[in-house]
Amino acid sequence: MTDLLTSLDQSGEADALTRLHERLETDAASAGLLDVAYRTVDTPVGALLLAATEEGLVRLAFEREDFDTVLEALADAVSPRVLASPSRLDDAARQVEEYFAGERCRFELPLDWRLSRGFRRTVLEHLVGIGYGATESYTQVAAAAGSPRAVRAVGTACATNPLPIVVPCHRVLRSDGSLGGYLGGLDTKRALLGMEAAA
């Protein structure tokens, strides 16, 4: 059979599979089976992974988090029905690009908060209110979230933020003005703050 199989020209196959994948994305979405759609977008801080459920953006990830690992985690935490499907994320990708072009100060996207619970979610919801170019300290955020002594827990909430950039944990600094930590790396945090300060 090998002799016959070698006569199998696979050149037309890639095109067919691209077309079939697009059809699967459409069919899955209309059947309500596209639980998690994702795509990547290139930015000055590297490629970002965007993932959305039917409810909204559920995850934004930096390349250093390893996209395969992030997708495996989404399959476990949300649903294994995960498909590369750029169209659901057209709006989110456009807004991210506008943000990095300095043309957007706030995101207007439906968010799916299901990956954050309890105090962490309270913290993250507070962060949405920190405006473009502004910063707060971990201590201030803890007080605003109603637990002034939970400064360390605020740090954890920021470090595990499933929606960085859109939920601006990069705008939280140490009380002495030093950077603290960042999931996307300190260079990224510095770049985002620098960009916002310059605008």
For another protein, the binding residues (CB under 8 A) are: 1, 3-5, 7-10, 12-13, 16-17, 19-21, 23-24, 27-28, 31, 33, 36, 38, 71-72, 74-76, 79-84
Pick between residue 27 and residue 98 the one whose CB is nearest to another protein. Answer: 27
Minimum Å gap between C-beta 62 and another protein is 18
Minimum Å gap between C-beta 35 and another protein is 9
Query: How many angstroms separate the CA atoms of 139 and 144, rounded?
Result: 9
Pick between residue 19 and residue 94 the one whose CB is nearest to another protein. Answer: 19
Pick between residue 20 and residue 101 the one whose CB is nearest to another protein. Answer: 20
Minimum Å gap between C-beta 109 and another protein is 22
- Catalytic positions are 169
Pick between residue 10 and residue 178 the one whose CB is nearest to another protein. Answer: 10
Minimum Å gap between C-beta 30 and another protein is 10
Task: Label residues 17-29 b or e (16+ Cβ within 10 Å = b).
Answer: eeeeeeeebeebb
Q: What is the DSSP string of 98-149?
A: HHHTT--SS----B--TT--HHHHHHHHHHTTS-TT--EEHHHHHHHTT-TT
Which own/partner contact pairs does 2-7 have at CB distance under 8 Å and 24+ positions apart? none
